[in-house]
């Protein structure tokens, strides 16, 4: 099929298949909260009370499953970024959003993994693309206001947030530690 050919729309799922998808996503969300993004896919299938083949039919890769688990949360982060575009201080708006991304990444173990691009991207807009687009709009405003150094990119900022989240997700008070480290890092991002 040529690259520019239209992809036929997917048929809606049957009611039983839709229930299976919902059970898989719920089970995966619970296991990821408990064990992180590397939770066993076999355990996800077992807890969802579906076969491994059913899980893999709906979610052909771990990344696809992570995308499904975190999509609503990422959409909320993107909505927050849209709200912050109205903030009068673009530098503060970017910092506020980055801290929200960090808090979500620490609280939702594995979110950082879902924010990075995958070798096999899911069809449509991935969580990574959504976060990058939302953050880039805030960064562009902050850069135009002279609030951040010119070499700062959204990719670098998201790597920084992801690294901090991974470093603190096992801490007793991971969100507070992540917030403190991110505040220190954000200070280094500002223009002098």
- Which tens digits make up the pLDDT trace of 137-150? 999 999 999 999 99
Q: How far is CA 71 from CA 83, 125, 161, in A?
A: 18, 10, 18
Q: Which segment of 4-8, 12-16, 91-95, 137-141 scores lowest on mean pLDDT?
A: 4-8
| pLDDT, greater one: 116 or 8 | 116
pLDDT band at 17 (very low <50, low <70, confident <90, very high): confident
At a CB cut-off of 8 Å and minimum separation 6, what does 55 contact? 24, 41, 44, 45, 48, 65
Q: Please name the residue ranges forming H helices in the chain.
A: 15-35, 41-48, 52-58, 62-84, 90-107, 111-115, 127-144, 154-168, 174-189
Q: Return the structure tokens found at 121.
A: 């991207």
pLDDT at 170: 79
Backbone angles phi, psi at 5, to 5 degrees: -70, 145
Residue 21 and residue 14: Cα distance in Å, rounded? 11
pLDDT band at 11 (very low <50, low <70, confident <90, very high): low
At a CB cut-off of 8 Å and minimum separation 6, what does 173 contact? none
- Which tens digits make up the pLDDT trace of 38-82? 889 999 999 999 999 999 999 998 888 988 888 888 899 999 999
Q: Is the dihedral of CA 81, 85, 89, 94 positive or negative?
A: positive
Task: Tell me the domains of the chain and their CATH numbers.
Answer: 12-59 (1.10.10), 70-189 (1.10.357.10)
Q: Return the structure tokens found at 15.
A: 């009611």
pLDDT at 122: 45
- Which tens digits make up the pLDDT trace of 89-129? 999 999 999 999 988 888 776 655 555 554 444 445 688 88
């Amino acid at each position: 099929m040529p690259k520019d050919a239209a992809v036929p729309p997917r048929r809606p799922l049957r009611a039983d298949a839709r229930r299976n998808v919902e059970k898989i996503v719920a089970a995966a969300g619970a296991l990821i909260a408990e064990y992180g993004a590397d939770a066993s896919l076999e355990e996800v299938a077992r807890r969802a009370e579906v076969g491994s083949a059913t899980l893999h039919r709906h979610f052909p890769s771990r990344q696809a499953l992570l995308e499904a688990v975190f999509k609503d949360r990422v959409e909320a982060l993107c909505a927050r970024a849209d709200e912050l575009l109205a903030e009068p201080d673009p530098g503060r708006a970017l910092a506020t959003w980055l801290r929200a991304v960090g808090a979500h990444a620490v609280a939702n173990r594995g979110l950082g993994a879902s924010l990075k691009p995958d070798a096999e991207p899911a069809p449509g807009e991935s969580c990574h693309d959504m976060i990058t687009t939302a953050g880039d709009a805030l960064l562009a405003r902050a850069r135009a206001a002279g609030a951040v150094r010119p070499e700062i990119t959204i990719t670098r900022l998201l790597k920084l947030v992801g690294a901090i989240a991974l470093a603190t997700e096992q801490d007793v008070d991971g969100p507070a530690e992540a917030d403190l480290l991110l505040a220190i890092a954000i200070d280094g991002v500002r223009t002098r």
